[in-house]
Amino acid sequence: MEEIRIYKKNDSDSSDTLYKKIKIKDTEIDGNLFLAPTAGYSDKPFRQICSDLGSSFNYTEMVSCEAIIRDNEKTLKIMEAAENEKMRAIQIFTGSPESAVKSIKNILKFKPSLIDLNCGCPVPKILKSGAGSDLMKTPDKIREIVKAITENTDIPVSIKVRSGFTSDSINFLECAQMAIEGGASLIALHPRTRAQGYSGEANWNHIKLLKDSVNIPVIGSGDLNTPFDAKRMLKETGCDGVMFARGSFGNPFIFQQTRDLLLNNTNPSEPLFTDKMKIAYRHLILAIDFYGEDIAVKEIKKHLCSYTKGIPGAKEIRDKFVRCNNLTDYENVFNSLISE
């Protein structure tokens, strides 16, 4: 299938615009549009698609330090770089400085540009291990883990954090300070509490407060569903960059659209239906190359269904994708959709 336009950096990229480079310790990232670490979504195939369509920097799905130490095959595979990823972050989760240190040797084999400590995951099984947003209950432990990593590698270390564990314990500023004392070089904030999960509204004012309080780059996340949301967050909070999560699912075009909006102040055009289907099909092929056909044809369904958002007749298209059991089934669906 014919490819659509792929993002390429050009001389119009200017530090005078909201689209700019970000310096993290000795590492410079060409732009400030990030793909968030999202379990089940920010895998190698999707990261490759997003990089092609303008993502400046990607985060892997989070991986367990304990699993890294054990050389767990599935975990190690998650850390692989996509072919077009010159730079990326590997996000880890752990509740133990000792576990973090033991995992570094294996992490470094995958040559990340940044190691990110997850301090925000709200999933109960992660919390039970003392990791994710459970770390926000004991900010000192964030400092200990970050320090343990920074003392054992020259690669920049960052954290991704929430506003607090509950609305009664908003402590993102304290957690950020502990991370900085440990040697963190960047902080990403999703301004919801652990108790909120992904419900309610993200409090962007917390991003502004964080940016005004620290002297390292701050990346904002939460409720970024359009290029205009990203522009507004950058202007209202002063954050250094934005991190797309759910807003990118089935819509990797959002990176290219946002870059165009920030650089040229032009209203981004919506991709044509055929463009969406071409990228969706390419996503399928990349997934098969990565997982093998048997696994990929199941794992890809949630992605392909996301590509149908906002399309007339989306329910019927999703029904067709859900019924597919192999590559031939998918190819028949794609060919019929594009020919129509």
Angle at 154 between CA 148 and CA 158, to 5 degrees: 65
| Whether this model's pTM surpasses 0.85 | yes
Same domain, 300 and 227: no
Domain membership flag for residue 64? yes
Domain membership flag for residue 199? yes
CATH code (residue 215) = 3.20.20.70
Domain membership flag for residue 47? yes
Single out the residue in 242, 264, 286 at which a domain terminates: 264
Q: Mean pLDDT in the chain?
A: 92
Q: How far apart are CA 287 and CA 295, in angstroms?
A: 9
Tens of pLDDT, residue by residue over 124-150, are: 999 999 999 999 999 999 999 999 999
Same domain, 28 and 160: yes
Same domain, 55 and 83: yes
Q: What pLDDT does 3 receive? A: 43
Helix (H, G, I), strand (E, B), or coil: what is residue 19?
A: coil
For the segment 235-263, the average pLDDT, to the nearest whole number, is: 96
Q: How far apart are CA 250 and CA 149, in angstroms?
A: 34
Q: Between 278 and 12, where is the model more confident?
A: 278
For the segment 36-58, the average pLDDT, to the nearest whole number, is: 96
Domain membership flag for residue 3? no
Q: What pLDDT does 267 receive? A: 85
Q: How confident is the model at residue 232 (pLDDT cuts 50, 70, 90)?
A: very high
Inform me whether the pLDDT recorded for 15 exceeds 50.
no
Would you call 324 a catalytic residue per the annotation? no
Same domain, 183 and 330: no
Tens of pLDDT, residue by residue over 316-331, are: 999 999 999 999 999 9
Same domain, 87 and 234: yes
Write the DSSP symbol of residue 15.
T
Range of the domain at 335: 273-339
Q: How confident is the model at residue 1 (pLDDT cuts 50, 70, 90)?
A: very low
Query: Of residues 121, 175, 239, 324, which has the active-site annotation?
Result: 121
CATH code (residue 297) = 1.10.1200.80
Same domain, 190 and 56: yes
For the segment 12-26, the average pLDDT, to the nearest whole number, is: 77
Inform me whether the pLDDT recorded for 4 exceeds 50.
no
Report the chain's C-alpha Rg in angstroms: 20
Q: How far apart are CA 130 and CA 145, in angstroms?
A: 12
Same domain, 117 and 217: yes
Q: What pLDDT does 16 receive? A: 53
Domain membership flag for residue 124? yes
Place of tokens 């190359």: 289
Inform me whether the pLDDT recorded for 96 exceeds 50.
yes
Domain membership flag for residue 6? no
Q: What pLDDT does 139 receive? A: 96
Tokens representing 292 are: 């093998």
% the chain with pLDDT above 70: 95
Q: What pLDDT does 209 receive? A: 97
Closest CA to 131 of 169, 102, 104, 91: 91
Same domain, 167 and 205: yes
Those residues with Cβ within 8 angstroms of residue 21's Cβ, 6 or more apart along the chain or in another chain: 15, 28, 29, 30, 31, 32
Those residues with Cβ within 8 angstroms of residue 274's Cβ, 6 or more apart along the chain or in another chain: 338
Place of tokens 């692989």: 80
- Total domains in the fold of the chain: 2
Inform me whether the pLDDT recorded for 42 exceeds 60.
yes
Single out the residue in 246, 264, 282 at which a domain terminates: 264
Same domain, 239 and 301: no
Same domain, 120 and 165: yes
For the segment 168-191, the average pLDDT, to the nearest whole number, is: 96
Inform me whether the pLDDT recorded for 311 exceeds 90.
no
Q: What pLDDT does 167 receive? A: 87
Domain membership flag for residue 31? yes
Q: What pLDDT does 339 receive? A: 79
Q: How far apart are CA 112 and CA 206, in angstroms?
A: 29
Q: What pLDDT does 238 receive? A: 97
Return the amino acid letter for 169.
Answer: S
Domain membership flag for residue 15? no
Single out the residue in 244, 264, 284 at which a domain terminates: 264
